[in-house]
């Protein structure tokens, strides 16, 4: 991007990576290094390493890494210019004038957010006009009060094809603006029409307070019943949670995770202002990361039908062995007053049983493993020997995945009680599966050890090396340069063109350019030029140890290997055309 190296260097100096990361992650200092649980994946044992001297971070678990700008880009879900602006604001620095392309992109994002705000205002005004009567009637039936409707900014989309289109173009927005924001759709004849029609509208507001998308619930018999915005420049459904902008200020110590926006609205209305929902998709790692900033306890509260149970199982699997305490609120399958078997969601339960009953249910919600034990038990007839045998096998496999010995022991005893067998018998079965899993992991590790080239390659296919020997030497060159910038003398005999890896060659050229301009070499300046995956790969290779006692000799050896491999590649490229001609001539002679 167009930010000068001077500006980025000052930005990094004023935003020490330990201070910045420490505002998101609880760090513990060990032997001069800083460790914490990674904010980018679930873990209980800290593997997230922050190095103050190198101003970089690296996770040994998920392999993410980079400088302070990369961290903000990932943790706040921001593009590079916005991450720079975020850190500049944090440090009290004025942003420099950027390039035309950057200004255009920032202007486009800003215009889209303004358009979304205007659209939300239009839907809100429609709700309180004669055209919104159907939506108001629906809200009354669902007992959605005017107060809670205002808090969430609920609105109505008219039952017309072009109401929003006409209203927004009258305000100066183009059809291209509306199309980019996902508010209108282009038909096969080239015409345009509103995406949301005859729907109760739920603006989706991110944690910074911007309207980034919309959800709509149909008011008639149309399909689909629920419709959400498509992804845009300002909206990613993987990184957004409905209601989190309000729930983040709750005084409750946990978060309730629901299936839909109506459930969130009704729970907030009933006083449970810690309710949030995913955006029509299964829970994602990005959403888990967002929630971890505000709570360490999640309560899963999905519908009590089969779809809700499957969603609960998927969420429990994702959150297993994470830093979260996870509980499951299992809504009754029967009404408490009549005993009638019904499908219920949180809204239904509160409407018929009341907020106090829901609070009691919430207080008695099961630990995630208790829920999974109950679900497993429900699949077998525990009144028979065969049922108990099959249950014991299934539950032993489940219990063997628990990392904590204490937690595993507690639920082993609980599982044995359900099966009416001794804890010792189930414990032996659990240990058998743990040993099987351990042996499997050992076999996979041996395969990796016997093929060290695989271990040295990136897990990202596009970043794997074609010429491993040369690429490992190129990595060594970069590590030595970062550790001792004086190794880059004016007669340095390598450039990026000599490297077998295009990525490593680009990094080398960046280092050489920065050195010749008198800048300190850090990873921060690379953030603008490389993707998150590329930066993680660069950080990973820079994290590996490099002895500096014989740095000059090591550098000479690396350069020799790179030149040797370069000559081999050049020789092969010269021979290949000759081989092709020879093969063609040979085939011609041997042909019919």
Check which CATH number belongs to the domain holding 148 and give it: 3.90.980.10
Residues 398 and 427 in one domain: yes
Residue where a domain stops, chosen among 176, 201, 235: 235
Residue 436 lies in a domain: yes
Residues 478 and 565 in one domain: yes
pLDDT at 131 over 90: yes
Residues 241 and 358 in one domain: yes
- Among 292-301, 338-347, 445-454, 526-535, the least confident range: 445-454
Residues 355 and 371 in one domain: no
Residue where a domain stops, chosen among 183, 215, 235: 235
Closest CA to 347 of 487, 217, 434: 217
Q: What angle do CA 353, 357, 359 make, to 5 degrees?
A: 140
Q: Could you give the CA distance from residue 65 to residue 39 in angstroms, rounded to a whole number? A: 12
pLDDT at 98 over 90: no
Domain of 408: which CATH number?
1.20.50
- Among 133-147, 250-264, 285-299, the least confident range: 285-299
pLDDT at 194 over 80: yes
Query: What is the arithmetic mean of pLDDT over 27-40?
Result: 86
Residue 261 lies in a domain: yes
Domain of 85: which CATH number?
3.90.580.10
Which two structure tokens, joined as six digits, stand for 412?
């082993």
Please give the model's pTM, rounded to 2 decimal places. 0.63
Residues 82 and 133 in one domain: no
Domain of 322: which CATH number?
3.40.1360.10
Residue 479 lies in a domain: yes
Residues 229 and 243 in one domain: no
Residues 563 and 472 in one domain: yes
Residues 210 and 272 in one domain: no
Q: Helix 100-127 and helix 80-91: axis angle, to 10°?
A: 90
Closest CA to 212 of 187, 245, 186: 245
- Among 141-155, 324-338, 578-592, the least confident range: 578-592
Q: Could you give the CA distance from residue 475 to residue 508 in angstroms, rounded to a whole number? A: 10
Residues 475 and 565 in one domain: yes
**Model confidence pLDDT, tens digit, residues 436-462:** 888 887 777 666 555 555 556 666 677
By CB neighbour count within 10 A (0-12 exposed, 13-18 middle, 19+ buried), where does 108 fall?
middle
Residue pointed to by tokens 């290949």: 576
Closest CA to 456 of 440, 469, 437, 439: 469
Residues 215 and 241 in one domain: no
Residue 401's domain spans which residues? 367-440
Q: Could you give the CA distance from residue 59 to residue 37 in angstroms, rounded to a whole number? A: 9
Quick check: 340 and 358 in contact, CB under 8 A? no
Residue 456 lies in a domain: no
**Model confidence pLDDT, tens digit, residues 39-59:** 888 777 888 999 887 888 989
Q: Calculate the alpha carbon distances from 284 to 83, 242, 281, 431 in Å.
A: 22, 14, 8, 31
Residue 445 lies in a domain: no
Which two structure tokens, joined as six digits, stand for 220?
């008639």
Q: Is 276 helix (H, G, I), strand (E, B) or coil?
A: strand
pLDDT at 123: 97
Quick check: 412 and 423 in contact, CB under 8 A? yes
Domain of 540: which CATH number?
1.10.860.10
Residues 573 and 508 in one domain: yes
Residue 425 lies in a domain: yes
How many distinct helices (H) and strands (E) make up the chain?
24, 16
Q: How many separate domains does the chain show?
A: 5
Q: Could you give the CA distance from residue 483 to residue 550 in angstroms, rounded to a whole number? A: 13
Residue 113 lies in a domain: yes
Closest CA to 471 of 447, 507, 446, 445: 507
Which two structure tokens, joined as six digits, stand for 122?
């239009």
Helix (H) or strand (E) holding 408: helix 405-419
Q: What is the signed CA dihedral for 274, 279, 280, 285, rounded to 10 degrees?
A: -90
Of 526 and 130, the one with more pLDDT: 130
Residue where a domain stops, chosen among 91, 121, 145: 91
Q: Evaluate the CA torsion angle 90, 292, 321, 63 in order and state its sign.
A: negative
pLDDT at 163 over 60: yes
Residue 455 lies in a domain: no
pLDDT at 584 over 50: no
Residues 377 and 349 in one domain: no
């Amino acid at each position: 991007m167009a930010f000068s190296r001077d500006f980025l260097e000052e930005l990094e100096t004023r935003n020490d990576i330990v201070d910045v990361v420490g505002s998101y992650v609880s760090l513990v200092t060990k032997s001069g290094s800083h460790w914490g649980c990674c904010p980018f994946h679930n873990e209980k044992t800290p593997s997230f390493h922050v190095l103050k001297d190198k101003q970089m971070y690296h996770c040994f678990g998920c392999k993410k890494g980079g400088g302070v700008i990369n961290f903000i880009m990932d943790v706040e879900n921001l593009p590079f210019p916005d991450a720079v602006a975020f850190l500049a604001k944090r440090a009290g620095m004025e942003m420099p004038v950027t390039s035309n392309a950057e200004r255009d992109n920032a202007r486009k994002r800003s215009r889209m957010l303004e358009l979304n705000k205007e659209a939300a205002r239009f839907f809100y005004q429609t709700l309180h006009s004669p055209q919104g009567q159907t939506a108001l009637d629906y809200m009354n039936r669902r007992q959605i009060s005017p107060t809670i409707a205002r808090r969430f900014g609920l609105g109505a989309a008219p039952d017309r094809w072009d109401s929003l289109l006409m209203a927004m173009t009258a305000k100066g927005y183009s059809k291209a603006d509306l199309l980019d924001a996902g508010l209108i759709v282009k038909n096969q004849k080239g015409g345009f029409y509103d995406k949301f029609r005859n729907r109760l509208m739920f603006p989706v507001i991110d944690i910074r307070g911007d309207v980034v998308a919309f959800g709509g619930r149909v008011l008639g018999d149309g399909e689909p019943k629920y419709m959400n915005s498509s992804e845009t420049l300002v909206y990613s459904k993987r990184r957004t949670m409905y209601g989190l902008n309000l729930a983040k200020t709750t005084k409750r110590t946990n978060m309730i995770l629901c299936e839909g926006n109506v459930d969130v609205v009704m729970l907030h209305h009933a006083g449970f202002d810690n309710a949030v929902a995913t955006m029509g998709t299964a829970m994602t790692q990005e959403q888990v990361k967002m929630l971890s900033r505000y709570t360490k306890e999640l309560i899963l509260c999905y519908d009590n039908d089969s779809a809700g149970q499957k969603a609960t199982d998927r969420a429990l699997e994702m959150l297993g062995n994470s830093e979260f305490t996870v509980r499951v609120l299992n809504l009754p399958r029967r009404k408490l007053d009549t005993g009638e078997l019904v499908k219920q969601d949180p809204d239904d339960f509160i409407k018929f049983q009341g907020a106090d009953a829901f609070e009691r249910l919430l207080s008695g919600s099961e630990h995630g493993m208790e829920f999974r034990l109950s679900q497993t038990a429900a699949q077998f007839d525990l009144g028979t020997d065969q049922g108990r045998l099959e249950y014991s096998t299934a539950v032993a496999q489940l219990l063997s995945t628990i990392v904590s010995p204490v937690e595993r022991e507690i639920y082993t005893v609980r599982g044995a009680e359900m099966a009416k067998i001794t804890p010792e018998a189930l414990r032996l079965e659990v240990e058998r599966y743990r040993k099987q899993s351990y042996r499997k992991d050992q076999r996979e590790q041996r395969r990796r050890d016997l093929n060290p080239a695989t271990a040295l390659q990136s897990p990202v296919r596009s970043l794997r090396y074609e010429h491993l020997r040369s690429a490992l030497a190129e990595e060594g060159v970069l590590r030595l340069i970062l550790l001792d910038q004086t190794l880059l003398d004016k007669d340095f005999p390598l450039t990026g063109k000599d490297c077998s890896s295009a990525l490593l060659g680009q990094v080398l050229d960046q280092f050489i350019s920065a050195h010749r301009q008198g800048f300190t070499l850090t990873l921060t300046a690379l953030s603008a030029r490389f993707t998150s995956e590329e930066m993680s790969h660069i950080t990973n290779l820079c994290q590996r140890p490099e002895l500096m006692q014989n740095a000059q000799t090591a550098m000479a050896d690396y350069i020799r290997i790179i030149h040797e491999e370069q000559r081999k590649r050049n020789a092969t490229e010269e021979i290949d055309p000759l081989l092709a001609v020879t093969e063609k001539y040979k085939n011609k002679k041997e042909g019919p």
